[in-house]
Amino acid sequence: MTHALREALSSLSLIDHPRLILNIPASQDKGLSIVSSPTTGRPIAAVRLDDERSYEETLGRSVAAFRKWREVPAPIRGQVVRAIGDEFRTHKDALGAIITAEVGKITSEARGEVQETIDIADFAVGLSRQLYGLTMPSERPGHAMREQWLPLGPVGVISAFNFPNAVWAWNAMLAAVCGDSVVWKPSLLAPIIAIASNTLAQRVASRFGHEDLFTLVMGSDQVIGERFIADKRLPLISATGSCRMGRRVGEVVSKRLGRSLLELGGNNAAIVHEDADLDLAARAIVFAAVGTCGQRCTTTRRLIAHESIVDQLLAKLTKAYQSVKIGDPAQDGTLVGPLVNARAVEGFEQAIAAAKQQGGTVLVGGSRAPVTGLTGHFVQPTIIRAPANNQLPIAREETFAPILYVFTYRDIDDAIAMQNGVDQGLSSCIFTRDAGIAERFLSPAGSGSDCGIANVNLGTSGAEIGGAFGGEKDTGGGRESGSDSWKAYMRRQTCTINFSGKLELAQGIKFE
Ligand code: UN1
């Protein structure tokens, strides 16, 4: 247990949490999962996992909590969410410190993640008075028609290690104002922040008399994951993570005719046109490609640069990459922390080896980055230029590491085709000062970017919570967070009311 982690947990009164074991036992216990620091590679705590019995107990409690919670008027539910948002405001830095200790995110990004939770709570509070349904004219005299949005049930949330706090909140805060209870299955790479976030929300909900509104189940895919996605008591499974995981969730949930909301991998590209402001583009690309050590689903993984400016742009990027400080994510001034674990480092090395073998040229980075005094999983942010024919098959895969592959184009249509030419469809962006080129990229005919997110003159990552977040193709099609994503957490009911005193059938049917 690091000092910073202990301090953060203690400020949240979590040191004695029954799931947390701060003095890791020497002997192997199958009911425990060890949490290691990405910064040192060493164990920092253990967490107690669920078994079948505790899983059943939790689900039972969540179902009961849902039945009670749905009776609370939505604006009053909003007041509970408001108090939860305030709790996260108060404890923003401590929660950030836990994220830094557990997944290696640098302090400012870790706090930024908690800010997303605060923002979505604010958004949800407003929404609690705006769960609008439509009224529509009936074709029959003396009839009224309207639709209403109703609570759905306990919602199952699966989250990944890379946004271990915010992605739960995108789901949980919306679900709560929609009248749903939440059962959260976090990544076993980030269980401590899950315990902390859930406990904070739960304490507030308990104050309002709803003890089991937010619950947590933790365990392996075999024991917990499979049971969770097959569980008919969870009408919606919202899953954020890899395409592989999402395929399994989609398959199992659709087999039971449940709903799934999938936000899966990305392979995001930045197009830089010949007229772009290259300083602005370079700054945006560096953040999007190396931020969170390349472990955002929105990370820029491909750069598609106009052939007339590619060298100039690469000179700027290379210079910036060489000056980026890699090191302890908790330390001021560090911009790139470690990858999450040793497996991620292997993935990074394998991708680079494949790229070289396929004719790519490493322009900067390309190997591990030893940091004095730290034994964690540090790597160098890397730029690899594709061969002149733009053929580099490895770039079609999402490697969760800071590797940027560079391609060139002459014609904007080719650039857009290249950007769309991968399986994933999460985020995309273009840098240009030409409004026509920008609009071509956003074409209302749908012939521009095929992604769920398309930005102009900013990077692929760092989306605000107010927009719908998610993407197409292998990214899974789901939308979380802002806009009208809340509709996924409710069920729609169409109501027709006959006040004419006579029975009249629609479509002019006579049935005398
Ligand atoms: C993710 O990586 O799963 O747009 C979420 C962003 C963040 C969220 C990323 N607001 O980069």
Confidence class of residue 29 from pLDDT cuts 50, 70 and 90? confident
Q: How much is the pLDDT for 130?
A: 98
Please choose, from the candidates 202, 149, 211, 208, the residue with its C-alpha nearest in 3D space to the C-alpha of residue 178: 149
Q: Which amino acid is at 243?
A: C
Distance (Å, whole) CA 145 – CA 494? 7
Dihedral of the alpha carbons of 449, 450, 451, 454, in degrees to the nearest 10: 20
Tell me the per-residue pLDDT of 416-438, one tens digit each, with 9 for 90 and over: 999 999 999 999 999 999 999 99
SS3 488: helix
Confidence class of residue 143 from pLDDT cuts 50, 70 and 90? very high
Distance (Å, whole) CA 349 – CA 114? 31
Ligand 1 atom 6, closest CA:
462
Verify whether ligand 1 is closer than 6 Å to residue 408 (CB atom): no
Verify whether ligand 1 is closer than 6 Å to residue 167 (CB atom): yes
Are β-strands 300-306 and 43-48 bridged in parallel, bridged antiparallel, or unpaired?
unpaired
Verify whether ligand 1 is closer than 6 Å to residue 105 (CB atom): no
Q: What is the CA radius of gyration of the chain?
A: 24
Query: 400 burial class (0-12, 13-18, 19+ CB within 10 angstroms)?
Result: buried
If one residue of 114, 461, 485 were mutated to test the ligand 1 pocket, choosing by the most ligand atoms within 8 A of its CB, it would be 461
Q: How much is the pLDDT for 512?
A: 87
Per-residue pLDDT at 2 exceeds 80: yes
Verify whether ligand 1 is closer than 6 Å to residue 297 (CB atom): yes
Q: How much is the pLDDT for 451?
A: 98
* Structure tokens, 386: 């594709």
CB 27 within 8 A of CB 112: no
Q: What is the mean pLDDT of residues 207-214?
A: 98
- From residue 353, give the alpha-carbon distance in Å to each of 91, 176, 384, 392, 470: 43, 46, 11, 12, 31
Per-residue pLDDT at 349 exceeds 90: yes
- From residue 450, give the alpha-carbon distance in Å to each of 140, 250, 366, 416, 469: 42, 21, 30, 9, 14
Q: Which residues are catalytic?
A: 263, 297
Counting atoms of ligand 1 from 1, which one is nearest the CA of 240?
Answer: 3
Ligand 1 atom 7, closest CA:
462
* Superfamily grouping for domain 268-468: Aldehyde Dehydrogenase; Chain A, domain 2 (3.40.309.10)
Confidence class of residue 87 from pLDDT cuts 50, 70 and 90? very high
Cα-to-centroid distance, 295 and ligand 1 (Å)? 9
Q: How much is the pLDDT for 25?
A: 77
Q: What is the mean pLDDT of residues 469-485?
A: 98
Cα-to-centroid distance, 178 and ligand 1 (Å)? 23
Q: How much is the pLDDT for 155?
A: 98
Tell me the per-residue pLDDT of 33-81, one tens digit each, with 9 for 90 and over: 999 999 999 999 999 999 999 999 999 999 999 999 999 999 999 999 9
Counting atoms of ligand 1 from 1, which one is nearest the CA of 298?
Answer: 11
Q: Where are the domains of the chain?
A: 52-264+476-492, 268-468
Verify whether ligand 1 is closer than 6 Å to residue 100 (CB atom): no
CB 324 within 8 A of CB 336: yes
Cα-to-centroid distance, 462 and ligand 1 (Å)? 6
Are β-strands 43-48 and 32-36 bridged in parallel, bridged antiparallel, or unpaired?
antiparallel
Confidence class of residue 28 from pLDDT cuts 50, 70 and 90? confident
Cα-to-centroid distance, 156 and ligand 1 (Å)? 20
Please choose, from the candidates 292, 278, 282, 280, the residue with its C-alpha nearest in 3D space to the C-alpha of residue 322: 282
Cα-to-centroid distance, 269 and ligand 1 (Å)? 15
CB 188 within 8 A of CB 164: no
Fold designation for 52-264+476-492: Aldehyde Dehydrogenase; Chain A, domain 1 (3.40.605)
Tell me the per-residue pLDDT of 438-474, one tens digit each, with 9 for 90 and over: 999 999 999 999 999 999 999 999 999 999 999 999 9
Tell me the per-residue pLDDT of 286-318, one tens digit each, with 9 for 90 and over: 999 999 999 999 999 999 999 999 999 999 999
Q: How much is the pLDDT for 171?
A: 98
Cα-to-centroid distance, 469 and ligand 1 (Å)? 8
Torsion sign, CA atoms 66, 70, 74, 79: negative
Per-residue pLDDT at 26 exceeds 80: no
Q: How much is the pLDDT for 1?
A: 65
Counting atoms of ligand 1 from 1, which one is nearest the CA of 296?
Answer: 2
Distance (Å, whole) CA 494 – CA 492? 7
Q: Which amino acid is at 278?
A: L
If one residue of 116, 123, 162, 296 were mutated to test the ligand 1 pocket, choosing by the most ligand atoms within 8 A of its CB, it would be 296
Per-residue pLDDT at 105 exceeds 80: yes
- From residue 479, give the alpha-carbon distance in Å to each of 162, 391, 410, 440, 495: 18, 32, 34, 24, 26
Q: Phi and psi of 506, rounded to 5°? A: -70, 165
- Please provide the average confidence, as pLDDT, over all residues in the chain: 97
CB 239 within 8 A of CB 260: yes
